Amino acid sequence: MSNTLALLQAFGDPASIEALKKDFRDNFDKMWKGTEAKYCAENKRAPVMTTEMAAEVMRYLDMCATPFHIKVLTEMVLTNCQLPNSYKDLDGEAQKLMTKALT
């Protein structure tokens, strides 16, 4: 519940939203440039994340207007290692999370 409360508190605060975006960027860079590179080298696999895919992730992040959008993008990309099919999908999941938080 405290996680949801933190998201709600950050909702109208531009500085909090920018801090969440910065945190996402830092974690994304570590995952992409560190974790994936190490895994691929150890397992002799080609990296999945390309420069174009990374740019798409950052484009989605720039479109995130609420902490809920950032949380959904974080779960999709950093936790589940998947990209949203579109911003509409990301927005739909964020709307569900907001509705759940407010009920």
pLDDT single digits (tens) 60-98: 999 998 889 999 999 999 888 888 999 999 999 999 988
Token code pair at residue 94: 């964020």
* pLDDT over 50 at 1, yes or no: no
Q: Are 32 and 93 in contact (CB under 8 A)?
A: no
pTM: 0.80
Nearest CA-CA partner of 96 in 71, 74, 77: 71
Structural domain range at position 19: 2-102
Are 74 and 24 spatial neighbours (Cβ–Cβ below 8 Å)? yes
3-class secondary structure, 64: coil
DSSP letter (8 states) at residue 32: I
**Does residue 26 sit in helix, strand or coil?**
helix
Domain count, the chain: 1
pLDDT band at 11 (very low <50, low <70, confident <90, very high): low
